[in-house]
Structure 1
Amino acid sequence: MGTLRKTALAAAGMLALSACTTNPYTGQQQASKAATYGAGAAAVCALVGAIESSKHARNAALGCGLAGAGVGAYMDVQEAKLKEQLQGTGVQVQREGDNLRLIMPGNITFQTDSYNLRSDFYPVLNSVGEVLAKYADTTLRVTGHTDSTGSRAYNQTLSERRAGSVADYLVTRNVTRSRMLVQGMGPDQPIADNGSDAGRAQNRRVELYILPKTI
């Protein structure tokens, strides 16, 4: 048996074991249904990818993994990596079906009334960009939001520019801009009451949706 095939079979075994994952917050092991059901198919795809060394073959194997192991398994891995790397940063990672939603509060992302990224937020976006660049079979929606203070026109422009700043930075981390839809929603999609300081602070945010490509 060739070295590549041996490597692939070893990878298959690891994929089967990966059906049991570790929760990055609790440290406890838990079963991933998507990984459990998809491990066998993903192992076959690993063999395909190992036999051929070209970039084309690797991409074909990745597509095979998505179709066989299921989109859920592909997103499981990204969710775990993002939660691990973003723990304690203030960025929320939420799972919505097969989609991931990252909520970046404005107070840690930008200075007041500015769309220039805070320099101390760069390492956080570096971590996000690393995962997004590695798992490229997703589309991204970057959306800026504001509170209701000030004029609608001002808030709309600010939300668009903030979303654009996040997208532009991710491009520097090897995330292809063509994967992104960048938009500003102004104050139109609050997640808290604009009648309080705490509520307005929650509404000032940038959200990044990570959506699996349809095959």
Structure 2
Amino acid sequence: MMRLILSFAVAILTAISVSAQSSLIEQEAENAAAQEFDNELRSPMVGPKLRAYIRAYMKSIAESLYREGYDIETMREGEVVIAVIPTDQLFAPNDTVLMPAAHGKLDHFKQYAQPDDRFKIVIAVHSDDTGSEEYLYDLTEHRTVAILDYLESLGFNPDNIIGFPKGNSSPVAESTSRANRAKNRRLEIFIIPSQELLAQARQSNKK
């Protein structure tokens, strides 16, 4: 699995004329990355017989992270847990090097790493809208790499973790105040049950 989803549509469009290339690449890359992001969040699917086990298992993770002070969301009816961390707690303004204080925020996720690879981890790094789209994408791309590198240093299997730089494409608040812009600057960590956890659920159902 790729560590970082980049604009792979670029390779497809290299033969297109220079005058049309820029806008087409931008649109195709955006569409392709968005589709890949959605696909990663949807898989693996949880079968009907495993849902009760998986949802209870993931609920315990959500409750644990919430008690630790993380903002928590869920999707797929509780099958996927999302921990949200303001990037202001991880990086200095306009910087791409993790601050020392960031380690404490990320170290807690070590428990979801190896040895048994029960989870697939997807991270999405977002910015506010202060700056050009190109600059903001580049900023979130470098921050995504920094976070991936650190998580891998904690023991995460590179095959089970993937990152998406999102720039300012997915705000959660209107950019009408400093507080709202701060809300948009965020890291989302999606904790998704892997095939290994599904196998564990099947074994549990046989007992």
CA distance in 2, matches of 1:148, 1:77: 35
Q: Pick 1 or 2: higher relative contact order, CA cutoff 8 A, min separation 6.
A: 2
Determine whether 1:70 maps to 2:49: no
The alignment's C-alpha RMSD in Å is 2.1
Q: Is the 8 A contact 1:146 1:204 kept in 2?
A: yes
Q: How many residues align?
A: 146
Q: TM-score, normalised by structure 2?
A: 0.64
Matched to 1:78, the amino acid is I
CA distance in 2, matches of 1:209, 1:161: 19
Partner of 2:39: none
TM-aligned CA distance change 1:116 to 1:80, over 3 Å = same
Matched to 2:66, the amino acid is K
Q: Please list every run of 5 or more consecutive structure 2 residues that lacks an aligned counterpart in the other structure.
A: 1-48, 199-207
Partner of 1:163: 144
C-alpha displacement of 1:112: 0.3
Partner of 2:183: 202
Partner of 2:97: 116
1:40-81 superposed Cα distances (whole Å, 9 cap, x missing partner):
xxxxxxxxxxxxxxxxxxxxxxxxxx9596211221232233
Secondary structure class of the residue paired with 1:207: strand
1:11-50 superposed Cα distances (whole Å, 9 cap, x missing partner):
xxxxxxxxxxxxxxxxxxxxxxxxxxxxxxxxxxxxxxxx
Secondary structure class of the residue paired with 1:70: helix
Partner of 1:186: 167
Q: Which has the higher Rg, Structure 1 or Structure 2?
A: 1
Determine whether 1:92 maps to 2:92: no
2:131 to 150, 157, 165: 150
CA distance in 1, matches of 2:148, 2:74: 21
Partner of 2:38: none
Secondary structure class of the residue paired with 1:104: strand
Q: TM-score, normalised by structure 1?
A: 0.62
Matched to 1:196, the amino acid is S
